[in-house]
């Protein structure tokens, strides 16, 4: 128990008032307050950890999907003039990837999942793999790389475009982007003219709009579907950096 003395001056005389404070009576209320703060902090941290960690997104809304990562319904997108790997005359199944070159989860997919998809399904002729842009910003290095990807695809084949696509996740300057394009066979002069072309910027915007219409809200996003005679691709949407097995299951289902 602690005691505190309060010395007062009263008409020239000193009076001592002794105030006794029982600290034991304060222990329980203080403990309750501390416990409340700890619990609140734990809830906050847990809720943040439980947020979607598979997608980089400008919109935090996560679309409905089943436990496999596949959307409950189908979406339709177009092959168009997008670069792709594989022989579309020999298969009727496609994976369409929408990505942002500044997206960490897109890079993870490119290094951990895409190579296995390529070796097991593209190289064996079972699917084609289509590359489309979904830049989360309309400026900056990742946006410029998306513009460059279209210019590369304009002048080289699908294999070289795919090589540039994989490398582009590591580019940090416009000079590196240009050198990457030249490395896969694009003429420097043609590259400079192409990236200044407003039509290329319109293509990037159109691909992002198409992805958004299909239900893709962040990156990476995918449509895994069947290709019809007009180049339309219809199938479930994968929203996020899901493992190889997610795509494998979708491909097997479409192959039935």
193 neighbors 178 (Cβ within 8 angstroms): no
Do residue 220 and residue 170 come from a single domain? yes
Do residue 25 and residue 112 come from a single domain? no
Pairing between strand 56-57 and 13-21?
unpaired
Indicate the pTM of the whole model.
0.75
Report the distance separating Cα 126 and Cα 110, nearest Å: 19
Q: CA torsion, points 145, 194, 185, 187, in degrees to nearest 10?
A: -130
Do residue 139 and residue 18 come from a single domain? no
Do residue 123 and residue 147 come from a single domain? yes
- Res 26: pLDDT: 52
Do residue 144 and residue 94 come from a single domain? yes
Do residue 61 and residue 41 come from a single domain? no
Do residue 72 and residue 193 come from a single domain? yes
- Res 178: pLDDT: 99
Pairing between strand 221-227 and 56-57?
unpaired
Sign, Cα dihedral of 116, 117, 119, 121: positive
pLDDT in tens, the chain (256 residues): 444 444 344 444 444 444 455 555 555 555 555 555 545 554 444 444 333 435 555 433 333 444 567 876 799 999 999 999 999 999 999 999 999 999 999 999 999 999 999 999 999 999 999 999 999 999 999 999 999 999 999 999 999 999 999 999 999 999 999 999 999 999 999 999 999 999 999 999 999 999 999 999 999 999 999 999 999 999 999 999 999 999 999 999 999 9
Query: At 41, phi and psi to the nearest 5?
Result: -65, -40
223 neighbors 233 (Cβ within 8 angstroms): yes
Do residue 108 and residue 153 come from a single domain? yes
Provide the domain count of the chain: 2
Do residue 18 and residue 130 come from a single domain? no
Pairing between strand 218-219 and 232-239?
unpaired
Q: Which domain holds residue 151?
A: 56-255
CATH classification of the domain holding 99: 3.40.30.10
- Res 71: pLDDT: 72
């Amino acid at each position: 128990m602690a005691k505190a003395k309060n010395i007062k001056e009263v008409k020239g005389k000193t009076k001592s008032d002794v105030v006794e404070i029982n600290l034991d009576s304060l222990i329980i209320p203080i403990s309750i307050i501390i416990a409340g703060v700890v619990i609140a902090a734990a809830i906050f941290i847990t809720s943040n950890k439980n947020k979607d960690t598979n997608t980089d997104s400008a919109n935090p809304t996560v679309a409905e999907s089943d436990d496999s990562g596949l959307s409950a319904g189908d979406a339709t997108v177009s092959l168009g003039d997008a670069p792709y790997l594989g022989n579309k005359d020999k298969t009727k199944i496609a994976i369409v990837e929408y990505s942002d070159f500044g997206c960490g989860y897109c890079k993870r997919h490119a290094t951990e999942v895409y190579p296995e998809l390529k070796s097991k399904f593209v190289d064996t002729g079972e699917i084609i793999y289509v590359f489309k842009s979904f830049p989360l910003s309309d400026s900056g290095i990742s946006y410029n790389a998306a513009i460059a990807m279209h210019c590369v695809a304009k002048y080289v084949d699908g294999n070289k475009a795919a090589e540039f696509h994989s490398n582009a996740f590591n580019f940090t300057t416009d000079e590196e982007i240009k050198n990457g394009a030249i490395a896969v066979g694009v003429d420097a002069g043609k590259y400079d003219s192409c990236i200044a072309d407003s039509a290329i910027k319109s293509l990037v915007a159109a691909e992002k709009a198409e992805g958004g219409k299909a239900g893709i809200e962040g990156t990476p996003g995918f449509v895994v579907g069947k290709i019809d005679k007009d180049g339309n691709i219809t199938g479930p949407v994968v929203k996020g950096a899901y493992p190889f097995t997610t795509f494998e299951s979708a491909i097997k289902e479409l192959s039935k």
